[in-house]
A and B are shown apart, each in its own frame.
Chain A
Amino acid sequence: MNKKIALAVSALAAFALVGTSACSSDDKDPATSTAATTATTDAAPALKVVGAPFTTELYGVGLPLDSSLCEQVNTAIADMVADGTWLAKLNGQMEGVLYTPNPETNPPKDFEVCDNKAGTFTTASSDTIKIGIKFDQPHLGFKEGSTYTGFDVDVATYVAGKLGFTPDKIEWVEAPSKSRETLLENHQVDIIFATYSITDARKEKVEFAGPYFVAGQDLLVRGDDDRITGPESLNESDYKLCSVTGSTPAQKIKDTYAADVELVEVTGYGECITALIAGRVDAVTTDDIILAGLAAAGVR
């Protein structure tokens, strides 16, 4: 019993770690970063992304409807892919994780057609740019103290550079899923890079440039688990699946793929990862790059 309580206390610490241990890796030299990898994999079981993604989600760059930046953003993303920065940044973020983005769709080649040619709005302030990102997704958009890291942040920094804003002129703003449209409509942010899938419903409220990444829904399982290989194998036993409340993946898996699977919905991926490591759920589902980022956070 004592052991269990000790475990429970350490659970809270582990939960904090899923977040905090995630992001300082870029600054480390290769030698120390390898050492850190071996040390932590011994302590906690590694996580792996399984199978090929089974949906397609185009991660777009959200802009206000009256923005004039759409074409410039598309050009900047094309430049980033062409000069190799895109791939280098992605590999840097996902280092040490068994994960390859879908090679047929990545890096993205077909960009959104910028409908609004008459847009006049650039940024609310002329010398700084307010960029909306997620603060809680390791290796995508992540806040640690006063530094911001992740692939979304890397792409945003590059694009902002092409728009004429050096990194010290960027103001990072948290853009949670629920308020992304409102933030753009009210010009509280100038541009959003926050795992923002392009959909028709959203296009009525915001303009999309990009995509800068083509993600797809996938599954994250414990490293030593060979039973689950794809969404169909979830029906083979009474597996438990975790996702974030109200997210598209949670809705999709219930409706389309594994109808019999028991779905656990919580408010954050950190909660899902803790339950996965503790063995209370068997898989976590969302877009592959988010899962890879979570797995990378566990590895380092």
Chain B
Amino acid sequence: METLTQYWEFVTQKKPDGTLLYDVLGAFWVNIQLTLWAGAVAMVLGTIILAMRISPIVSLRAVATFFTNIFRDIPLTVVMLIMWLVIWTQLGVSFGGKMSTDFYILAIIGLGLYHASFIAEALRSGVNTVPLGQAEAARAIGLTFMQSARMIVLPQAFRGAIAPIGNTIIALIKNTTVASVMGVATETSAVMSGMIETGANFVLLIFLTFAIGYVLIVIPVGMFFTWASRILAVKR
């Protein structure tokens, strides 16, 4: 009990300017924001990649397959390291303003590209749940490829792909900690490193704090996707 009190004092200690030295809740909020932004990028990009993947044009299919295989097969840390070493360090890409903004945006792009390949594959599994007859019927009533994709195939595919998309999103939540490779120093894994550096006597409690934090975030998300996949699944 005494240890817990001391740990509470350690976690809540303030800097001279009155702000928290280790902003644990703020760090989780950074990861949630990264998840939302990168998730949005991945959903949009993943849908485009999927549309290319199922399109009748061979070159588009080839490009989509290439993208998926490249980004799915490179470890995320390496993707982020490339963003840091090549895009930021050597090509000198900058979005103006502060450097931390650059890092934030590049981290979102890196996370988005990587997870777009998984979203595209999740959606492709959704497309496979749509019976062939649906696409054939759409073509038979004269819909173009874009029309049948937009109105017939994709809506059913999304509903069939909710569970795998949920898995990807849960993976993304935890993967946002890799943003520290891209210089995002306010997210959880960076804050945790700082806490262990000075608070080595609380090392297990520190690990536990962040583990519990992620469990608390991931469980509701998992429950939501399980519920949604049951409610929204196309009954056949």
Interface residues in chain A, defined as those with a beta carbon under 8 Å from any beta carbon in chain B: 4-5, 7-9, 11-12, 15, 177-178, 180-182, 199, 201-202, 204-206, 240, 245-248, 250-251, 255, 262-267, 271, 274-275, 278, 280
Contacts and interface: CB of A to CB of B under 8 A. Distances in A.
B21 to A, nearest CB: 8
Contacts of B86: 8-9, 11-12
Contact of A251 (B85, B180, B183, B198): B198
Nearest to B92: A280
Interface of B is mostly: helix
Contact of A262 (B84, B88, B98, B203): B98
Given A177-B197, A202-B200, A251-B198, A4 B88 contact: no
B203 A265 contact: no
Interface core residue of A205, A250, A265 (most chain B CB under 10 Å): A265
Interface stretch (B47-55, B115-123, B187-195, B217-225): B187-195
Contacts of A180: 200
Nearest to A255: B15
Contacts of B183: 264-266
B107 to A, nearest CB: 12
B196 A178 contact: yes
A251 B193 contact: no
Given A264-B183, A271-B84, A245 B193 contact: yes
Interface string B157-180: 000000000000000000000001
Nearest to A203: B201
Contacts of B90: 4, 7-8, 11, 278
A271 B83 CA distance: 11
B63 to A, nearest CB: 20
**Which of B92, B200, B201 has most A Cβ within 10 Å?**
B200
Nearest to B15: A255
Most B CB contacts (10 A, CB to CB) among A4, A9, A11, A204 go to A11
A205 B201 contact: yes
A266 B182 CA distance: 7
A181 B193 contact: no
Given A205-B200, A245-B180, A248-B198, A177 B193 contact: yes
Interface magnitude class on chain B: 35 or more
Interface of B: 15-16, 81-82, 84-92, 98-99, 103, 180-181, 183, 185, 189-201, 203-204
Given A182-B203, A246-B197, A267-B181, A274 B190 contact: no
Top 3 A-B residue pairs of the complex, sorted by shortest distance between their CB atoms: A246-B193, A246-B194, A265-B185
15 contacts: A5-B91, A11-B85, A11-B90, A15-B85, A181-B203, A182-B204, A246-B185, A247-B193, A248-B198, A250-B185, A255-B15, A264-B103, A266-B180, A271-B81, A271-B89
Nearest to A10: B90
A201 B89 contact: no
B85 A246 contact: no
Contacts of A7: 90-91
A247 B103 CA distance: 19
A12 B196 contact: no
Contacts of B192: 178, 246
B99 A204 contact: no
A181 B200 contact: yes
Contact of B190 (A182, A199, A202, A246): A246
A240 B88 CA distance: 14
Given A180-B200, A245-B194, A271-B89, 4 more contacts: A5-B91, A9-B86, A248-B197, A248-B198
A121 B189 CA distance: 34
A266 B183 CA distance: 5
Nearest to A246: B193
B89 A278 contact: yes
Nearest to B80: A267
A11 B92 CA distance: 12
A271 B78 CA distance: 12
A262 B99 CA distance: 8
Given A246-B191, A278-B89, A199 B200 contact: yes
B193 to A, nearest CB: 3
A280 B181 contact: no
Contacts of B193: 177-178, 245-247
Given A181-B200, A262-B98, A267 B180 contact: yes
A265 B88 CA distance: 13
A245 B89 contact: no
B99 A8 contact: no
Nearest to B190: A245
Interface centre among B84, B89, B192, B198 (most CB of A within 10 A): B89
A275 B201 contact: no
Nearest to A185: B203
Contacts of B204: 182
A8 B86 CA distance: 5
